[in-house]
Amino acid sequence: PAGVGGGAWARVFSPGPRLRARAAPPGARSARRAAPPSSVPSASAAPQGGRAGGAVARIALDALDPDLILVGGDLSYADGWPFRWDTFGRLSSRVFGRVPTLATGGNHEVGSGEQWVHFEARWPTPHASSGSTSPLYWSVDAGPAHVVALNSYDNFLEDGDRLQRAWLAADLACVDRSRTPWVVVMMHAPFYNSNGAHHDEAELMRRAYEPLLYEHGVDVVLAGHVHAYERSDARGVYDYD
């Protein structure tokens, strides 16, 4: 799928010409999909959440006037200091308080003593309504898109992620393309990036999940973690070393 990652704001649904959303491997399903008309609600992605409270980023996001905001993890960079969650909430409330906002967790939500505690308490997710067994992965229909959030920090050794993987397969199999022609998946750690410190960091997850995303024709993958903006072209990337 076409990928977006890094610390930049991206307009996900914009009117435009027909395009090829992915370059499928042999045997995988590939289809051309028309961009939504201009009357369709828009969504903005904040793949790297922690900078979302900054004044410049907040003003830029506010100017987009989105209908939905997706945050790809690393929200407050609290790192075990709870008051930072409050500060982040105050700084970002002008935008997040008026626009529906959904997030997935990053390494700064699980590391440094966080252990998902503040993320789960402060950032509710629609996991129950989507049949998920954990608030760390979920899905929801938002306008013309079926949005899926995954946990990049599950246990990908010895089938430790089997609950998330089984849920994802079942969720994608139930997507009704007549209602939600776009399928968007977001996670924190990108499958592909050019950063030497993070290269192959999500390799175990990629090997297990990338075939599922292609099998079900996922259109867009959003990721964070790397503090730079990178994207594939419209042909997408698949099983690339």
Catalytic residues: 198
Nearest to 221 by CA among 199, 195, 193: 193
Contact, 23 vs 4, CB < 8 A? no
The DSSP code for 140 is E
Listing DSSP states for 64-98 in one string gives H--SEEEE-S--S--TT-THHHHHHHHHHHHHHTT
Contact, 11 vs 231, CB < 8 A? no
Is the Cα torsion angle 79, 83, 87, 92 positive or negative in sign?
A: positive
Q: Given phi > 0 = left and psi -120 to 50 = alpha, else beta, which region is 119? A: alpha
Please state, in angstroms and rounded to a whole number, the distance separating the CA atoms of residues 50 and 92. Answer: 10
* Residues in Cβ contact with 31 at an 8 Å cutoff, skipping those fewer than 6 apart: 21, 217
Please state, in angstroms and rounded to a whole number, the distance separating the CA atoms of residues 157 and 205. Answer: 9
Please state, in angstroms and rounded to a whole number, the distance separating the CA atoms of residues 160 and 156. Answer: 6
Please state, in angstroms and rounded to a whole number, the distance separating the CA atoms of residues 143 and 75. Answer: 24
Tokens 């935008």 identify what position? 95
